[in-house]
Amino acid sequence: MKNNSMRTKKTFMIQKCIAFALLVINCQFLIIYSNAQGIAINITGAAADNSAMLDISSSVAGPSGATGSRMGILIPRISLSSNSDVSGFNTPLATSLMVYNDGVSGLSPAGFYYWNGTQWIQAMGPQGPTGNNGAAGSTGATGLLGTGTATGNTTYWDGSQWALNSSNIYNAGGNVGIGTTSPEFKLTLDKGATTPDGGILALGTYGSGTDLSSTGAGSKLIWYPKKGAFRAGYVDGTQWNNANIGDYSTSLGHCTKANGTYSVAMGDWTTASGNYSIAMGWGTKAVGTYSLAMGSATEANGHLSVAMGLSSVANGEASVAIGRSTRANGLYSTAIGYDNTAGGIVSVAIGNGNTASGNFSTALGLITTASSYGSFTLGRYNVGGGTADSWVDTDPIFEIGIGSGTGVNAANAMTVLKNGNVGIGNINPGQKLTIEGTIGILESGTSPTYHTIFQGGNQNANITYTLPVVQASASGQLLQNDGSGVLSWAASGVPSGAVLMWAGLFNAIPSGWLLADGSAVSRSTYSNLYSAIGTTYGVGNGSTTFNLPKSSMSYGNRFQVDNSGSLTTGLVSYWDMEGNSNDLWGSSNGTNTSITFSSANGKISQGAGFNGSSSKITGTVTMPTSAYTVSAWLYWGGSGSSTSN
């Protein structure tokens, strides 16, 4: 056995030596053969492919075969610490040098890597379709990121490489913080102690992107770039679904809805459905384009309408309803206050319970009604009435109400009709001024006491007076009735040219009177008198003046004494001095005589007489020096006064 064993061993060694010798011989032949074709390594003896310098193949290429018939090539296996690790290699490394990295020393994942001339690149498998190119970024140094210091730290590009940040974005267990390392909510923003200001900028493109999904109920913050819309607050249903979001709209608060373009809804249960509309408060609705609804349960339904307050409604275009339960229904109408209604075109109702139903009408006060076209009412509980949309002369245009209620309790203090008739205490005036009741005129002054009252009695027919068409021509003229109601100006009941006795002083001539002394006066100044007497008592200067009568007291065919002191024959006369008179008596044979007066206050102390056949006699009269009575004054019918010498 021992010999056999030794024999066998020798044989093995001989066989091994023979095999090695044959391999050397064979390799020599292959190398030589490769000069013409390339090197082929296989167990089949197949020649190398003409295109390959080294062609390594197994005996079986298919999916199955005998054990040992399928073999591969084994690439060197090393551990790389980074994609730039060349330690242990003879440098420089040849481009396309391939190794297998086991992924345990730093560079991962494990796999085949090749040197691209600057770094190790993982050899990848077959690639899918090429995607769109991204934006070109800055190039810089490459390398691995280091270990950060804060939990949830994220990376950023510092301009040359990716680096760990120290004050920007953190992801801590699902909560993301910007400017904070401890985000409290899913997204927490903090400007930080060293940052001068903070803010949020979210960019998007209007009209592009995915439609907002049906979000349903809940508390939400939505920025929707596709419609340029913003939402914040809480909804209990579909208020903030895509179908209820208007382009460029804003909706804030509780269950608000802004489905109009450029609309804004704020508060609780508000709706802004009109384009460019605004609804604010509780339960307000802005339906009209460019409408505004504010307060509680207000509605702005008309185009360009405004509703503010509590339960106010603006239905008309460009209408305004402000206050509580006001209604502006008419075009361009306005209702302000409590429970007012402006129904007419361009109508106004202000106060409490007023109604302006006529076009262009205004109702002010307490429960007044402006029913007539273009009418104006104020006060309370006026009568009202009239045509709302057209001008009727007999309709009221102005009313002051003083009633105590509606219907039979309504009343007007004043009514002005469209024909210009005015009624005081009368709602249907038939004249320019109709007064029902008593007229009182109070004296002037700061504390008037007395007044004049005009009070009409019971009449069975109308009484009409026609006034003069001109003003009185002189002071002191009075109105006189011609018996048929036509009034004219008259001179105090005294006609021009009248001569009356005067018991006053000689030089105290009343207004409108002249001294009957025969003097010449102006024809134009005293035209009324000139028309009455003409030139009966003298022509004056023959053109511009005329003479007044020369008055004296004359009785029978006697002599007279005028106020100049002359005596005239054929008459016997006397003077009345201070109301004392003494008859002149006696006879004369025609000789001259004289009358002498006493000096005691102008009293006559003696006299003389003569017959009518005597010739002219003259005498001298000494006029009294004190007051005396002149026999007559002449009325000329004008104003002012005259004096006598």
Q: How far apart are CA 488 and CA 164, in angstroms?
A: 115
* Token pair for 302: 């008309």
Q: Is residue 33 part of a domain?
A: no
- Please report the sign of the dihedral spanned by the C-alpha atoms of residue 84, residue 90, residue 95, residue 98: negative
pLDDT in the model for residue 32: 33
Rounded to an integer, what distance in angstroms lies between the CA atom of residue 144 and that of residue 146? Answer: 6
Are the C-beta atoms of 73 and 56 separated by less than 8 Å? yes
Look-up of token digits 């007023």: 354
Q: Which element (helix H / strand E) includes 2?
A: helix 2-34
Query: Of 534, 566, 570, which Cα lies nearest the Cα of 549?
Result: 534
Chain segment 530-569, per-residue pLDDT in tens = 988 899 889 999 999 999 987 654 333 333 444 444 444 4
Half-sphere exposure of 518 (CA within 13 A, CB side): 7
Would you state the pLDDT for residue 21? 47
Distance CA 436, CA 257 (A): 61
Same-domain status, 298 and 362: yes
Q: Tabulate helix, strand, coil % of the chain (nearest 5).
A: 5, 30, 65
Q: Which tokens hold the place of 516?
A: 């009957």
pLDDT at 64: 67
* Residue 325 placed within a domain: yes
Residues 532 and 435 in one domain: no
Question: 401 with 411: CB under 8 angstroms?
Answer: yes
pLDDT of residue 380: 97
Among positive and negative, which fits the CA dihedral 447, 452, 457, 462?
A: negative
Type of residue at 106: G
CB 423 within 8 A of CB 429: yes
**SS3 label, residue 272:** strand
Whether the Cβ atoms of residue 178 and residue 168 lie closer than 8 Å to each other: yes
Distance of alpha carbon 244 from its chain centroid, rounded? 31
Do 522 and 603 have their domain in common?
Answer: yes
Say if 238 falls within a structural domain: no
Q: What is the CATH number for 424?
A: 2.150.10.10
List the domain range (segments joined by +) for residue 313. 277-439
Q: Decide if 156 contacts 163 (C-beta within 8 A).
A: yes
Residues of the chain with pLDDT under 50: 1-35, 140-144, 553-632, 639-645
pLDDT for residue 593: 43
Whole-number pLDDT of residue 128: 67
Taking the C-alpha atoms of residue 72 and residue 57, their distance in angstroms, rounded to an integer, is 8
Cα separation, 562 vs 573, whole angstroms:
9
Cα–Cα distance for residue pair 117/26, rounded to 1 Å? 37
Same domain, 181 and 286: no
Helix (H, G, I), strand (E, B) or coil at 73: coil
* Same domain membership, residue 501 and residue 358: no
| 102 DSSP 8-state letter | -
Number of domain units in the chain? 4
- Separation between Cα atoms, residue 469 and residue 487, nearest integer Å: 10
Given 173, 189, 205, the domain boundary residue is: 189
Domain boundary among 189, 214, 237: 189
Same domain, 173 and 300: no
What length is written for the chain?
645
- Reported in sequence order, the residue ranges of 269-333 that DSSP labels E, i.e. its strands, are 271-272, 278-282, 285-286, 292-296, 299-300, 306-310, 313-314, 320-324, 327-328
Q: Are residues 112 and 170 in the same domain?
A: no
SS (H, E, C) 131-192: CCCCCCCCCCCCCCCCCCCCCCECEEECCCCEEECCCCEEEECCEEEECCCCCCCCEEECCC
Task: Say whether both 532 and 591 belong to one domain.
Answer: yes
C-alpha distances in Å from residue 580, one per residue of 132, 515, 595, 603, 627 = 146, 22, 17, 7, 13
| Spatial CA neighbour of 534 closest among 491, 545, 640, 525 | 545
- Asked if the structure places residue 82 within a domain, the reply is no
> 575-612: string of b/e by CB count within 10 Å (b at 16+)?
bbbeeeeeebeeeeeeeebebebeeeebbbeebbebee
364 within domain boundaries: yes
* Domain match, 95 and 163 both: no
